[in-house]
Structure 1
Amino acid sequence: MKIILPNAKELNTYLEAQPAPVLSQQSQAILDLMQELSPEELSHCYKLNLDRCQLEADRWQRISQGDAKAYPAWLLYDGLMFRYMKRQGLTQTERNYLAKTAFIATGFYGLISVFDPISPHRLDFQVPVRIEGQSLKQYWRQQFYQVVADDELVLDLVSSEFKAVFSPQQQKRMIKLTFMEEKSGQLKVHSTISKKGRGRFLSLMAEQQVQSLEALKVLQTDGFSYREDLSSSHELVFVRPT
């Protein structure tokens, strides 16, 4: 089983640094391109103002020069989903589970383990750069596939931006987890609830060593429980009444 997680724009660098990883050839090709872009060009790519893009330009230069610090990916990423995970006080059994099953989709490093060290940077799959004539989604597609190729069960905790890196055929193998709230008979999905639910469920899966869909369906946390009537073969829906 593999669980695919998104990365996050929010970063927490108030952590103990680790040695920066040796870049793969694919990551190095991206770095060679990004470090050559001016702040003005980065502003166009990122759709950010020049002040913000100067920070990003400096980050790419530090990575290129070997001066960048590195941190475990799931601790560096500090979006809402990650903050709702249990990231401290893990048992060795929980760590082993996450190391084998939980992978983060990134535009610079590819599909990586949650524990892999990475350096601060900004590069999502919507940035319009082309590497070897390909978009970032096309560029990483084969590597993403190789990570999950031998797994019968692939859980999708990502948005369409990240899922699109997988080919349509690969996407058919993936099962989405959806979190909804029910109020006065009305079902609603919104980003905050979904991100919190994904974080909580991933930690609960690690605690209980979940390896099957049947084991996943009986999980309950923060009031969410599985709804068979709303689910399908490609989507498991969990609902919390309010």
Structure 2
Amino acid sequence: MKIIVSPAKKMKVDDVLPWQDLPPFLEKTGRLLETLRAMPYDRLKALWKCNDSIAEENLRRLETMDLRRNLTPAILSYEGIQYRYMAPDVFTDREFDYLQQRLRILSGFYGLLRPFDGVRPYRLEMQAKLSVDGAKDLYEFWGADLAAALADGTDWVLDLASKEYSAAVEKHLPASVPLVRCVFGEEQEGKVVEKGTLCKMARGEMVRFMAETGAARPEDLQAFDRLGYRFSPRHSVENTLVFLRGE
């Protein structure tokens, strides 16, 4: 089993724990770095869809970025809502070992990351309109590489990523490796409605729940009961596990 999650825009440098390995697609990351460095400021700002302050910060990052030095473990580098609720700073060694084997972070810049792969702060979303090496965008640039790495040696994949990121692997996974989704929502007028921030919180809590319990099968996830969510057999279907608040 593998678990996929999205990265976060906000990143930090953290030397509390050492990184273990370089990311597996570092050569392709290097090509992205070369392409970004060659772009003028106005195009970078448009690509990043941000204000001047954030654009200038990330321009400085590009200018000084060394992909092999001063690295932070990926799982400690991201600061988004999902990671705050995952709370990696307080994982035990056993829980870190569980995640190192199973958790994979999808990234527009790095491709696919294990928790202790060393990274530098960057800004590049998977859906960014960036043409590289003849590929029209990052989905085409990464192609089937990420799905192939994800499917190697596993029998199913748990999708805790946003649609933007899961789209990078979904259509490339072999039929023998099903993608199982978790839906975190509320029932409103007979429909299951997902709310962005609550979904991110629940995805982080689900990762923590799995690491703490050693979950290995889809049915193991049905015991998840955090943030007011409960598994709903009535709303769930094959390869889609639905958790509702207030039920």
- If the length of structure 1 is used for normalisation, what is the TM-score? 0.89
Q: Please state how far the C-alpha of 1:8 moved relative to its aligned partner.
A: 0.5
Unaligned runs of 5+ in 1: none
Task: Report if aligned partners of 1:39, 1:50 keep a CA contact under 8 Å in 2.
Answer: no
Name which of 232, 235, 238 aligns with 1:233. Answer: 238
**1:205 to 1:17, Cα distance in 2 relative to 1, 3 A:** closer
1:27-46 paired onto structure 2 within 5 Å: 27-46=29-48
Give 3-state SS (helix, strand or coil) of 2:86's partner: coil
Residue matched to 2:158: 155
Unaligned runs of 5+ in 2: none
**1:16 to 1:218, Cα distance in 2 relative to 1, 3 A:** closer
2:223 paired with 1:218? yes
Residue matched to 2:59: 57
**1:189 to 1:171, Cα distance in 2 relative to 1, 3 A:** farther
2:225 is aligned with what amino acid?
Q
Task: Report if aligned partners of 1:3, 1:154 keep a CA contact under 8 Å in 2.
Answer: yes
Q: Any idea what the Cα deviations from partners look like across 1:106-153, whole Å, max 9, x if unmatched?
A: 111111112222101100112211111112112223221122223211
RMSD of aligned alpha carbons: 2.5
Q: Any idea what the Cα deviations from partners look like across 1:177-208, whole Å, max 9, x if unmatched?
A: 11113478774310111111111111111111
Residue matched to 2:128: 127
Residue matched to 1:6: 6
1:96 is aligned with what amino acid?
D
Residue matched to 2:28: 26
Partners of 1:24 and 1:91 lie apart in 2 by 28
Please, which moves more after superposition, 14-23 or 189-198?
14-23
Give 3-state SS (helix, strand or coil) of 1:59's partner: helix
Q: Any idea what the Cα deviations from partners look like across 1:201-232, whole Å, max 9, x if unmatched?
A: 11111111000011111222222111111111
Residue matched to 2:89: 88
Please, which moves more after superposition, 156-165 or 15-24?
15-24
**1:62 to 1:68, Cα distance in 2 relative to 1, 3 A:** farther
Task: Report if aligned partners of 1:10, 1:77 keep a CA contact under 8 Å in 2.
Answer: yes
- If the length of structure 2 is used for normalisation, what is the TM-score? 0.87
**1:187 to 1:129, Cα distance in 2 relative to 1, 3 A:** closer
Partners of 1:222 and 1:238 lie apart in 2 by 11
Please, which moves more after superposition, 142-151 or 18-27?
18-27
2:3 is aligned with what amino acid?
I
Partners of 1:15 and 1:38 lie apart in 2 by 32
Give 3-state SS (helix, strand or coil) of 2:144's partner: helix
